[in-house]
Amino acid sequence: MTNALKLSVPEGLPFIDLEREFDFPVADVFRAHKEPGLVAQWLGPRGLTIDVDHYDFRTGGSYRYTHTGPDGDAYGFNGIFHTVRENDFAIQTFEFDGYPDVVSIEFLTFHDLGGGRTRLTAHAVYPSMAARDGMAGSGMEGGLSEAYERLDELLAGAKVWASQTAEFDPDGRVRQRQATSPGDGDLPPSHLKNSALKQTARGHVRPVPASGMDRT
């Protein structure tokens, strides 16, 4: 995969903008942002575990998930999906438990480039320059780059991590371990319309603030 993340941090404005292209149809990229069982397979950098409490990617829905690092430290995130339009657009909030009362608003647009390709753009608005600068300096770019590489691998059905299998509690919560290196296991075959990948879904760039960890 050769599509690089483009991240912009404009001087003097509390914004962060990003752009990333994918060599997959817009419906597949959108679905990977929508279904909790798929989100759990790519959201965040390698080497973390993710516990998705809920992820309801629809207008009026909400989400909460926790990333846990190798050292056992946990980082919780939550937000509300204010607007979701299928294969097109979403507006959501993003809040890190470690910085209560600091909420950003994110606008995600899924552009159909034709030929089975997609461009994802995001515009994030922060309540202050300090909040924006803290996010920009938290390792956000590296974390997002890894997350989108993992999304490429998921969409391609690439061989990735042996321990990367989504587990579901009886109440529907998603618990999944992310292994630290690629090449050890298999994901289901390519493209989300494939029935095997549908079975893994069973049922959405958030960065980790200045905690020394990268987003997703």
Q: State the average pLDDT over residues 180-191.
A: 37
DSSP per residue over the chain, as a string? -----EEE--TTSSEEEEEEEESS-HHHHHHHHH-HHHHTTTSS-TT-EEEEEEE--STT-EEEEEEE-TTS-EEEEEEEEEEEETTTEEEEEEEETTSTT-EEEEEEEEEEEETTEEEEEEEEE-SSHHHHHHHHTTTHHHHHHHHHHHHHHHHHT-EE-TT--EEE-TTS-EEEE--SSSSSEEPPPSSTTSHHHHHHH--------TTT----
For the chain, domains (ranges, CATH) are 17-201 (3.30.530.20)
**Model pLDDT, residue 210:** 32
Asked if 105 and 83 count as a contact pair (C-beta separation under 8 A), the reply is no
- The per-residue pLDDT of the chain, averaged, comes to 80
Give the pTM.
0.76
**Model pLDDT, residue 100:** 85
Q: Which residue has the tokens 């060599």?
A: 23
Q: Given a cut of 70, is residue 121 above it in pLDDT?
A: yes
Q: State the average pLDDT over residues 29-44.
A: 95
**Model pLDDT, residue 169:** 53
How does residue 184 score in pLDDT terms, banded at 50, 70 and 90? very low
